[in-house]
């Protein structure tokens, strides 16, 4: 049996414009090309999986309930756009800024691979033939640590490119289509 592939997407900065600690639908501005990309991936039988650090929860800026309300709204938008999300994984913890039980190290907080590995187990994914799109090198590091085959850096994060090397850097989400159709 052939395992399914996934298109892993960071949320803030890839799905929506990063407005810093987003938690309300009225704050959401979707990144140009996200729905075209997701429709194409869905058509090719990719699972659409969101993997997102959400330390705003741990820092007390918004609650888990508010995060889940926004996520449910976003999931409805993706369904309306013809590209339902398979799963959304999030990490509310922060090792130094988290409040109370949210202050801790977590294997789910990128650059650690925990969210991706959980998705691989839950959805029985073919990680070497999957694609990850992130706007930070920590996203790329998480994908590489999990064994994702194609880790694409969207945008301009060059904070430590001497250590972390994405498969490619893309400046528009339309450039990701080539990795879905003919990974190279």
pLDDT digits (tens, 9 = 90+) for 86-144: 999 999 999 999 999 999 999 999 999 999 999 999 999 999 999 999 999 999 999 99
**Tokens representing 52?**
């997102």
Neighbours of 87 (CB within 10 A): 16
Contacts 24+ apart (CB under 8 A), 98-104: 98/55, 98/58, 98/59, 99/58, 99/59, 99/60, 102/57, 102/58, 102/59, 103/58
Helix (H) or strand (E) holding 150: strand 150-154
Q: Provide, rounded to the nearest whole percent, the portion of the chain with pLDDT above 90.
A: 90
State the pLDDT at residue 49. Answer: 98
State the pLDDT at residue 163. Answer: 78
Name the pTM for this structure. Answer: 0.95
State the pLDDT at residue 182. Answer: 61
Q: Is the pLDDT of residue 65 over 90?
A: yes
Question: Which residues are part of the catalytic machinery?
Answer: 10, 12
Mean pLDDT over 61-89 rounds to 98
Buried b (16+ CB within 10 A) or exposed e, 159-182: eeeeebebbebbeebebbbebbee
State the pLDDT at residue 159. Answer: 65
- CATH number of the 6-181 domain: 3.40.50.1000
């Amino acid at each position: 049996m052939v395992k399914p592939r996934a298109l892993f997407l960071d949320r803030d900065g890839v799905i929506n414009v990063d407005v810093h600690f987003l938690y309300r639908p009225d704050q959401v501005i979707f990144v140009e090309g996200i729905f075209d990309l997701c429709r194409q991936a869905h058509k090719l039988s990719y699972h659409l999986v969101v993997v997102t650090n959400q330390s705003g929860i741990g820092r007390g800026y918004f609650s888990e309930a508010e995060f889940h309300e926004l996520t449910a709204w976003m999931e409805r938008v993706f369904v309306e756009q013809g590209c339902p999300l398979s799963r959304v994984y999030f990490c509310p913890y922060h090792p130094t800024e988290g409040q109370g039980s949210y202050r801790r190290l977590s294997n789910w907080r990128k650059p650690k691979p925990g969210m991706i590995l959980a998705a691989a187990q839950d959805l029985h994914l073919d990680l070497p033939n999957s694609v990850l799109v992130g706007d930070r090198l920590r996203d790329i590091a998480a994908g590489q640590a999990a064994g994702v085959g194609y880790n694409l850096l969207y945008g301009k994060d060059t904070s430590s490119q001497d250590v972390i090397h994405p498969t490619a850097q893309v400046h528009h989400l339309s450039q990701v289509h080539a990795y879905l159709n003919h990974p190279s």
